[in-house]
Amino acid sequence: MRNERGAFNIGIVIGLTVLALAMTAVLGILMPLTDPAVGSEAAGQPLSYTQEQVEGRKIYIREGCFTCHTRMVRDAAADEPYGPMSLPADYFNEAPALLGLDRVGPDLTCIGDRQSDIDALVKHLRNPGSVHEGSTMPSYAFLSDRELRAVASYLTALTCQEA
């Protein structure tokens, strides 16, 4: 890379820079475009929310529920109870997609398949310890009945999309 005078050969430096940029473009832009999950072959159907469910989703975001509950089933034995593995198309109309960071509480990807009773979810949100002894989930009793029902309605809409 250095010439006989000890200086860098600018041609080699430019060539390596161009090569690195080209590889970045191929790996970061072109290869993901060939992934079938990005195109029309993607499985899953976008969820449609009622106005109450949209309001519940806003409260879910405002209260930071996604910081303790993920919405992303991985291909692992530990995730089996939560339903089929999540696919990119499952989050098609979600902005932002609330995938979560930690799993302090259970994954909520398919909670609507496991719990469709809005009244039971409201009871749980109001006083988690009365439903699950020893629950570390905080109480949301400070929310109005309308807000609790909206969050519960949103949660029941979270169903798995079979491929």
The CATH number of residue 140's host domain is 1.10.760.10
2-17 pLDDT per residue, tens: 666 666 678 888 989 9
The yes-or-no verdict on residue 29 having pLDDT over 50 is: yes
Q: Looking at the domain assignment, is residue 81 inside a domain?
A: yes
Q: Which residues of 95-108 are buried (b: 16+ CB within 10 A; e: fewer)?
A: eeebebeeeebebb
Q: How many domains does the chain have?
A: 1
Q: What is the pLDDT of residue 8?
A: 67
Q: Looking at the domain assignment, is residue 32 inside a domain?
A: no
Tell me the whole-structure pTM to 2 decimals. 0.65
The yes-or-no verdict on residue 124 having pLDDT over 80 is: yes
Domain extent for 127:
51-157
Q: Are 108 and 69 in contact (CB under 8 A)?
A: yes
Phi, psi for 8 (deg, rounded to 5): -70, 140
User: Sign of the CA dihedral 64, 102, 116, 120?
Assistant: negative
84-117 pLDDT per residue, tens: 777 666 666 676 777 776 777 888 888 888 889 9
